Structure 1
């Protein structure tokens, strides 16, 4: 018998630790290769971790609810010749208790593939990163504070000392300083000097408590995604000067096209044709007309993105949490390609199969509140983007139209309200209004002869 070590996997370049949410297997259970063993959470995404080898779960070294650094040994799997699925070994099998490293092979599916085996972890992680991950900074004798390699690198480039780093309020897990925290600090830091944390920042970190009747109330602990969402939304309100525009859209052409093709499409593709791809397609076209909506801000610098990555909000965990997977290079996809990408990401978001890079680098976001019957809404900007479009339910409404004789008439049309929340620091009302109106134009003038 031999044992294969499972370690906390590297889920992304800037991710330095993970929290074990749930062990799906218990000691003594048989495990097939690539079968889900546990579920972990990072500050980017929750993921189910597959077994690097077939065998029996011999040891669980880190309990549920504990957070450990990347590379930490978390479990051991006992294998034998009949259970192990790996490349042929060139040396005799090691005795029990000896780590199997060179023999363990994990299927490489993509550049972002992650593994929980020690061998793959060593291959994926460069020495400089593992060294930084293992380091902590001692805070003046009051304990220790962890900094990710990304935060350390930014501090090094900007000349921020350890003492100054300790003064930055952290909004991450256990008060950890995130990339956005240090970038926000740099925007108000005087050249060459340390800035004292503001009173507002101190108050933000403090917990505010209100009275309530405990006997008639239930205390529910936030799950990890809810905590991250709360942090992200609060930071967005503090960062961006939110302003909103609203328009109504006649969805007649889109509704007729969908009704005509939805059955044949579902039979061919294996999933339903929804309105989301039409909305994303219209956003992509509008961005080509108004590219300055597709930007982000760092300090006093505007970063114009010459690519279009559309984030789409997906409700998960029985509508108790939200995640935003990103359709990369959406401007290179036709309508069918957008349909396939949106369906794939939504399915994997709900089954916790997303990879970290699939929820990063969005340039603008769409949230469809209409799926729950909402008429309209004004969403919070998904940082570091500067705009997010929200749409309500499509409902038949009486509207005034002009007939062929140029006379006004009342007609029934499928109407949808679309809103745009944008950052007034860099997007004025003219640009915001023109963009949302151009989205409406592309939807109202949708080409019913578009190939699908």
Structure 2
């Protein structure tokens, strides 16, 4: 029996997806749960497994085609007993796609492949395409794969197994796959990948939407820096990950947003939408791109909860395990360019937010210290915070009050009551 493969719904607000790559060619056999194709949305790229075992007999969409959710994109000929299998696809009407169908003879299928397969040579064990793809990208040999202990059925190495191995192994340079390059005299013209196109569209749209204004302040984080040093070993032994400045800053921001509700709002036409919860998006740099996963209801999390959430969403984003629904719904955003040793910057607002906080690197500097006994000069750990805000809603006074509130919350934080 022939079954339909439809464009899946990747999130509540996702209405369409872009075909990035078919992992199987026409005429190829495929196992259930084996990766069939990769699709991209305006939130995230995802690998889509097959819901049936069988043979890929028809394809209705090519790479870079944009397809609505629920539309048929391929057909699989399967020997499975579908009377006992209830799948999502059988509940969706099949549109008339004869005009876009790839031609085929009655008893013969034309095979036209644009999929590049990674050749690993002979292997003793079976590995799924997603595991082989990750291994190829990370420079992991097949012999190394065969030594990994798998947690899947029959000891099979799963995606989680190889990601755990990559996380624990020493970092090694990754050989980048070459992009398509068109040479024109003294210039190289390189096609943007899917993610870069999305980033370009979002950044341009934000600049066209919001009236960006910036204020910058300097913060003394000496006490926090000392706390990080004294707690580094014990925290990592207890929690399994490194304690960073980000949760401290998030905690200060949450408190400031409570006191300045305009910064936790958004604009809808001529209306102002005040959000009941504080949902903070944190910018995470990934390979040749950027994603902003969201930590929801931050006001309900204590400091340790923020630490765990920040580590969790950042780790899953870098490992391509974040879901599209976790990339939307932010009410304020934070970006930490200080990790790249940058002193300060002017970040672009993440729509539909009205504010974004940029975090610079922490540096020791000579600072004038004022006290009742007179002024003195000391070496302090300092960082710059830069706030970008939408002047359509927030005036200079409001933006200045907010960033100063964040500064005070950081400098006066009760570190003894954190955990």
* TM norm. shorter chain > 0.5: yes
**Preserved contact between residue 314 and residue 324 of structure 1 (Cα < 8 Å):** yes
Question: Does structure 1 residue 378 correspond to structure 2 residue 338?
Answer: no
Equivalent-residue separation in structure 2 for 1:432 and 1:257 (angstroms): 29
By how many angstroms is 1:239 displaced? 1.6
Q: TM-score, normalised by structure 1?
A: 0.67
**Preserved contact between residue 253 and residue 445 of structure 1 (Cα < 8 Å):** no
**Preserved contact between residue 342 and residue 360 of structure 2 (Cα < 8 Å):** yes
List alignment gaps of at least 5 residues for structure 2.
Answer: 98-182
- 2:188 aligns to what SS in structure 1? coil
Q: 2:228 aligns with which of 258, 276, 282?
A: 258
Q: 1:247 aligns with which of 188, 194, 217?
A: 217
Residues 34-45 of structure 1 correspond to what in structure 2 (within 5 A)? 35-45=34-44
Equivalent-residue separation in structure 2 for 1:7 and 1:241 (angstroms): 41
By how many angstroms is 1:76 displaced? 4.7
Equivalent-residue separation in structure 1 for 2:332 and 2:279 (angstroms): 7
Say what the alpha-carbon RMSD is for the aligned residues: 2.6
**Preserved contact between residue 278 and residue 298 of structure 2 (Cα < 8 Å):** yes
**Preserved contact between residue 48 and residue 353 of structure 1 (Cα < 8 Å):** no
Equivalent-residue separation in structure 2 for 1:22 and 1:52 (angstroms): 18
Equivalent-residue separation in structure 2 for 1:337 and 1:299 (angstroms): 35
Relative distance call for 1:421 and 1:4 in structure 2 (3 A) is same
Question: Does structure 1 residue 284 correspond to structure 2 residue 240?
Answer: no
**Preserved contact between residue 398 and residue 413 of structure 1 (Cα < 8 Å):** yes
Could you report, residue by residue, the CA deviation over 1:119-155 in whole angstroms, capped at 9, with x for unpaired residues? 4x75xxxx9xx99xx9xxxxxxxxxxxxxxxxxxxxx
By how many angstroms is 1:73 displaced? 2.8
Q: 1:388 aligns with which of 352, 356, 363?
A: 356
- 2:262 aligns to what SS in structure 1? helix
Q: State the match for 2:195 in structure 1.
A: 225
Q: State the match for 1:300 in structure 2.
A: 270
Relative distance call for 1:17 and 1:380 in structure 2 (3 A) is same
Relative distance call for 1:396 and 1:360 in structure 2 (3 A) is same
Q: 1:426 aligns with which of 377, 393, 396?
A: 393
**Preserved contact between residue 5 and residue 89 of structure 2 (Cα < 8 Å):** yes
Question: Does structure 1 residue 359 correspond to structure 2 residue 327?
Answer: yes
Residues 403-442 of structure 1 correspond to what in structure 2 (within 5 A)? 403=371, 406-442=373-409
Relative distance call for 1:416 and 1:56 in structure 2 (3 A) is farther
Q: TM-score, normalised by structure 2?
A: 0.72
Relative distance call for 1:56 and 1:438 in structure 2 (3 A) is same
List alignment gaps of at least 5 residues for structure 1.
Answer: 82-92, 94-99, 106-116, 135-212
**Preserved contact between residue 294 and residue 386 of structure 1 (Cα < 8 Å):** yes
By how many angstroms is 1:220 displaced? 1.3
Q: State the match for 1:84 in structure 2.
A: none
Equivalent-residue separation in structure 1 for 2:259 and 2:388 (angstroms): 18
Relative distance call for 1:43 and 1:254 in structure 2 (3 A) is same
Equivalent-residue separation in structure 1 for 2:275 and 2:366 (angstroms): 40
By how many angstroms is 1:5 displaced? 3.8
Number of residues paired by the alignment?
A: 331
Could you report, residue by residue, the CA deviation over 1:224-252 in whole angstroms, capped at 9, with x for unpaired residues? 22212212211221221111100011111
Mean CA deviation greater in 433-442 or 335-344: 335-344
Q: State the match for 1:337 in structure 2.
A: 305
By how many angstroms is 1:435 displaced? 0.6
